[in-house]
Amino acid sequence: MRKSGASLESVPELIGRWAAHLGLTVEARFAPSGDEEAFPNRVAVSGPDAALLGANRGVALDALQFLVHEAQGEREDQKLAYLDVKGARLFRMQEVMAMGKFAAEKARELGSHTLGALSARERRWVHLVVSREAGLGTESEGTGTFKPVKVFRK
């Protein structure tokens, strides 16, 4: 078991401090996602330099989130902070969950439907939205970081 580090409550201040060391001016605060089960502990990052973190498909934001998770020393989703710039990740969650609902409708109609390759977090969102539907199941297929998700009737 990992030793606990930074508390969830300290994450916004930690992000601001780390960004300042990099010469960036950002603010971080907790903001609701609308679905705390799918996107818990959303930390909205804003300010004059926030767009730099979201550039290039959010690679810098991913790196910062990795460092935050390491500092937290946690591995449970409900205890980790998830960073978002300009609502991009919130929008992606809503988009992927809508895709999951569409796939559920198609699976009910046709027996199964497969979504294209998704990241682990995106696959989790699909599994979650389909688990809320009676009589349907999901399965990630293949190997690698990005995998398709099959939605099927049970």
CATH number for the domain harbouring residue 58: 3.30.300
> 2-41, pLDDT tens digit by residue?
556 899 999 999 999 999 999 999 999 999 999 999 999 9
Residue 1 lies in a domain: no
Q: Please state, in angstroms and rounded to a whole number, the distance separating the CA atoms of residues 136 and 119.
A: 21
> 97-113, pLDDT tens digit by residue?
999 999 999 999 999 99
- CATH number for the domain that contains residue 138: 3.30.1370.50
Q: State whether residue 129 is helix, strand or coil.
A: helix
Are both 64 and 80 inside the same structural domain? yes
Domain hosting residue 134, numbered range: 92-153
β-pairing, 27-30 with 82-85?
unpaired
pLDDT band at 1 (very low <50, low <70, confident <90, very high): very low
Joined together, the tokens standing for residue 128 give 């979650």
Residue 79 lies in a domain: yes
Are both 64 and 117 inside the same structural domain? no
Q: Count the domains in the chain.
A: 2
List beta partners, residue 138. 151
Mean pLDDT across 125-142: 97
